[in-house]
Structure 1
Amino acid sequence: MRFFRYFWSPRLLPGPSCAAWLLLGGLLLLLAGQVRASHIVGGELELTHTTGTSYTLTLNLYFDAVAGTPDLIMGTVTASIFDKASNNRMQDVALPITSNALVSYTNPLCARPSLSTRKLVYSKEITLPTATYDGPQGYYVAVEQCCRNASIANIVNPANAAEAFYLEFPAVTRNGQPFFDSTPRLFPALSEYSCLNEPFYFDFGGADADGDSLAYDLVTPLNGHASINSPRPTASPAPYAPISWNAGLGATNPLPGTPTLRIERRTGRLSARPTSLGLFVFGVRCSQFRRGEKIGETRRDFQLMVLACPPNARPAVAVLPGTTGPVRYQPGRDTLRLGPGGNRCVRVRFSDPDLNSRLTLSVRAVNFTGPLPTFATASAGTVHAVGQPDTLSSTLCFPECADTKGKVFLLDVMVADDGCSLPKRDTVRVAFISVPAPSGPPTVATTAPVGRPLVVRVGDVVSFDVQATAPFNQSVQLELTGQGFAPADLGATLTPASPGNPLQARFRWPVDCRVLAGDSVRVFQLTAVTAPCGVRQTATVNVAVVVRYANTAPVLRPAAPLPPPPAPGEPPLVRLPLGATYSLDFIGTDVNGDNLSLTAGSENFTLAEAGMRFTARNGAGSATGTFVWDVSCGAVNLHRPLDVTFQLLDGTCRPLPQRQTIRFEVETPASPALKLYNIITPNGDQQNDEFRLPELPVDFCDNRFARIQVFSRWGQPVFESSDRDFRWAGGGQAGTYYYLATYTDGRHFKGWLEVKP
């Protein structure tokens, strides 16, 4: 056995089929000159659960777009639901048409004007009540229509043959519980054909929304009760008569072929090699199983057109190990060995003798899973066209990380042409052994002490270097994490200082108050990371940091003694007259050297309103401040207690503020003893001739004399003045009077007065 030395570990997939083939999934008419009623190509029913007891019932009906005329397309079809156990009719459902579209060819270059099909979709939401649809044997849906294409070659009297669309579904409740189910959705039908004496294949596998298991088999299509005289009857209950096969043909042998049409039970893959021209109908049943029990089935009728196609030669592909030279890889003899440091690419040459043939390369894994090799250069092109070569080449490269672990992996390298109806292929099976580049875990080191914690205080900056190293010159990265916390939340960073291998980085953490929100011990994890071939490998070193925190309360004291408080529990009282100026210095100190902030303020007035001001000189470990009060009416007019609080605050994580409150008052000026006069004798003897009140309280800031009012004994005002030095001689009328003196602060003085002749 020859060995070619290379190196890797892929998985290879089949290339896309050109779709120069297909089954006319319930598809089309061969001749345009058929009778007017010959238009049904095929179709199937679907029942999809939406929510609760609501379902969507759908009929997909394939219609001959060439021989059928538009007025044969029905706006509504009737579907009938029956009980399987009794054949009793449960309900008839009118399904309106919801979609009308042409079915596209997979490969438009293979289209034939005589082959065109419309997909008509009839759909409606229905309700299946649990109390009604609870029969243990389930239910079935049927739609009956006539007629099929007159040119069908494998059944008796096809122009008069009808079609019964059939679907089975389970009860919607079991053992008192809802039993939800959606029937399988089959692979869409395609407008293509098969070529005489050429392989035909089609991936017919469906999908089930509930994850049920599906099994496929070929069955005889159903004819039912419709006829050319009654083409659209309301469906009768089962059984439904099958179509009649021509002699020698049947459900498992629907068309002449070597082999005839077959379907794989588990995958739904159809295959055949037809040996006769014509249009052939066949039926496929998709049975649905849940937990090993059959719960329903879906049937679809199909038509497959077999045509005489132009000759199509098979393309050829060759694999050439090495970058130069004509040596070809020999399947079954050679094995590629792919190793680190060596060439991991091969050349691929592909060609086709046909003119204007477009070729496409693909790869497929045979006995392994994993990443596939990729084409580094063009993997498709045209040969034998004007200006085009007769042979193309490409480069196929295996991944560096492929590892066959000593086993031989098999890879198919394939080329496909664009021939109709199906592409032809050539395959080279390549055996290879791949060894990835050596790798190992990284290492990590730090200048921080390992095994004993760092002891720091709030305000310190922790800084150290970290180095990560990877073997075999691998790429390496550094990660910073914390045990139970995110380092970034505390302001810690890890900044690469120089890229490469080894990788240098600097750890930096300015320790601030955020650290006190959790444990006093913080463990930082510094991890070196490599990922050779996607496999993460790490090495970690832990750095523990213990944060110490203690705080002694600062001291606040006035520079001069304060007067005693007037009563226990009250602040010291400073009383001053109008016009005086009071000054007091404060001193703050802190043994911890914390930044100090000295302030003064009141809760119910601003210092400026009372003629007060405070100037502070703050700093680390000490602070001073000066309080000054210029005593004025501004303080008196506030009419509230003048309590000023001086506060010293230490700038640390858990401050211990110190406070001193002082109460300030303005002295009220003394007034003479108040005398209230009751009698005047305005007789001109210069003795007690006028009413006056000279001993009223003196004016004090805004607390001033407002007015004097004198009233007769009947309440009539007889005199009023805003002059505190007023004089009233009685108005010439003897008698008894009453007076009221008021001040701006609401105080008032009242009495009576007798005026005698």
Structure 2
Amino acid sequence: MIRPFHTVKLAIVLFTLLWWLCGGSSLANHIVGGELELVHVQGFRYNLNLIQYFDQAQSANPGPEPQLLAYIYRKSDNVFMRRDTLFLTDQATVPYTNIECSLDELKTLRAFYTREIELLPENFDDPNGYYVVWERCCRNAGIVNIVNSIGAGQTYYLEFPPVVKNGRPFINSSPSLFPPLSDYACVNQLYYTDFAGVDLDGDSLAYTLVTPLNSSALQALPIPQPAPHPEVIWSQGIDLANVIPGNPSLRITNRGFITVKPEKIGLYVFSVLCQEFRKGVKIGEVRRDFQMLVVDGCNPEPPPNLKVRVPGSLSFNSVIRDTLVFRAGDNKCFDIQVTDPVGDKNIKMRAVGVNFEGEVEGIFTLKEGYLATADDIFNLQVCLSKCPYVSEGPYLIDIIAADDACPLPQMDTVRLAVIMEPPPNQAPRYVNQTSKMINLTLDEGISYSLPLEGIDLDDETMVLDIVASDFDPEEWGMQVAIGKDEAGSIEAVFEWETGCGSFPFGVKNQFDFTLRLSDNDFCMDNSRDEIQVSLTVNLPVNNPPELSTTLGSYDLQIPVGTNFSFPVTATDADGDVIDLIAVPVNFSFEDYLINFSPVSGPGEVSSTFSWNLGCDLIDTEVQDYFELNFVAADNDFCLQTETAVISLKINVFQETNESPVITVAGVENDRVTINSLEFIELEVTSTDPDNDFLSIDLLDGVPLPPSETFEFNRVEGQGQAKGFLRWAPECFLFDEAREVSYKVSFLSWDTRCPNPKFDTLSIFIDLIDRESPGEFLPANIFTPNGDGINDTYSIPDLPVDNCDDQFQFFKVMTREGTNVYMTRQRDFVWNGDKLPSGVYYYMVKYSQRSFNGVLSIER
């Protein structure tokens, strides 16, 4: 056996030392890679697994966490669905391909986490599926093909389909992925490995290289985030076509076989995407990140020499140029001879199909041998199966001899091209169906059955299948009930229930498929008989729903500031359950505070659309056109959904706005005069030409008279507002002057948005403290005799009051000084109180002065 030179160990030690020096204990810079798995258990229960790979050589880093949290999101809108705690149940070191090539400095630990979870169909039925996410930081230090590897994490990602489709359980397990890399690669030497996994459901798998995903945060265990996820940044000169530079650079086939002939040493990270297909439709995917260490100093000795002697030839040859042709009864054995230029080699033999898939290892009766010296010869005979591996043309088989060199075996290959005649086989055939084409239309709800009878003249057992390309017959309830099943004879009935209560024929009602009768021939040569069937389900008539509103037009002009609402009604003549929704086209209801509640119900439903086009919401310079659709969809028994749509177009505009006008009654040229000790009441009115809602108030910032009796209260009104200024000025306002003036300002504004208008008006109130005359002569006689002439006495021209001298009272006295009448009212009217005729005395009393005189009463 050839062991690696000391330079290999030295290179690995240097890389390990660099990783350890750069690593941080909190972030654990030793993540090699990993992946997620979702494995069906029973019903809607699944095992959610996470496999994590650690660089075990970095002993300074902590080991795997005892548990972790995985998050599940819905793929269509990235909505969080649930999170689950997975527990560490197993740890094991990844084994080398050849244990003799192992090095203590290169160890990978596989940590396995798991948890059984239940995915209920009412929560996990979205047709776009879901995805599982877990994040971890950080990767190994010293990775050469990405930027800042010590600060880069990994996002573990798995997509899975809904657990139900068309109302039936959809059973699926994710791929169980390929074994991880356990070997190192060497500069300028071909590295190869089978990185393919298996699928428990028999789904097809396809592999591609993708850019590794980073974690969302530079912390050991970030909270797993929804998509999209950040990617790592490739180093200069690195991309998906050149992940590991070489000739060839890193490649992976669609079937998962990895090859690379690296040209530089280093630690390289790469990511493989495995996509899962069922009947040609992608249903899931899983990613795996891993690392490859490339070292120098690997100098394996020459590979073994492989030669083959085919039937009819006398010599062994390393190249077989002719195609081998075997008839059914021919001997299909040939001889193999393996030698080695050095010796001391363990030799393993295997066969690989080149242009077909399938197991071919079984053609060897002896697989292993040992060559002690260069003169030893390893001989064995190989016999091919009597059945060809492909139905038409030659099939290719590579015969491979591999030694036990490090880090990977050295190989020699001889390719054989073989054409083989299979044993004779007569195809089975239907005996009760003369037509090979059935085209029928079936009324919804009937039970359809088709008897089938087949025979096989070779007395082989048969299989009767329903084969379709664009649907799953089992999911749609199609089945073949087998009655008689014997060698050479089969009887069965194709059965199908077409009731809409079981299957959504409104979604699909036309089905093309094949009833295939095939025998269980030893060579499985696909001998068969087929009936082409086209069945159409005739669905009952479904009347579409009808939509109506109270609007007269669906192209509206609405002014800003309008409170806009109307009902929307949907009816269905069939009494089906109706879903009524409103769908904005070029805006969102939330941004404009629009209310419309979706409703659902049988026969007839209604909901109100309401929108207050407030000035704080609408800026017509940003957007003034709004389009939305009202949609009514019925839930027909057969899911033959019909819809009705009303498209509403709304143009929002700003109305012109006239300013209100303020007037004050009794004021000329904006001035009004008040005498001292008088009361004033002024009517203030604002009128709006547009009949908008108005307010009137005193204008802020203009000083008011320093008077407790000055009064004006804010007033409001639609189209017109009216208020009153009331004031009885106090004498202290005059100070030493006899005249003083005060400015009073009013503000009126409307509420028209978005451009309210206003008006202001200022008036001046002039206060005058008038002087009273020094003397005055009132009447000195009246005749209260009832003749209507001078029957009462009054003094209409009393001296005016002022702040210095104010009227107190008026009284009448006899000559003896007895008071016969007194009043404190300036506007008194006295009828004499039946006093006799005569001469009396009067007094007009002011606060500062008195006026006395004689008053005669004559009757």
Q: TM-score scaled by structure 1?
A: 0.48
Asked which structure has the greater RCO (Cα within 8 Å, sep 6+), the reply is 1
Q: TM-score scaled by structure 2?
A: 0.42
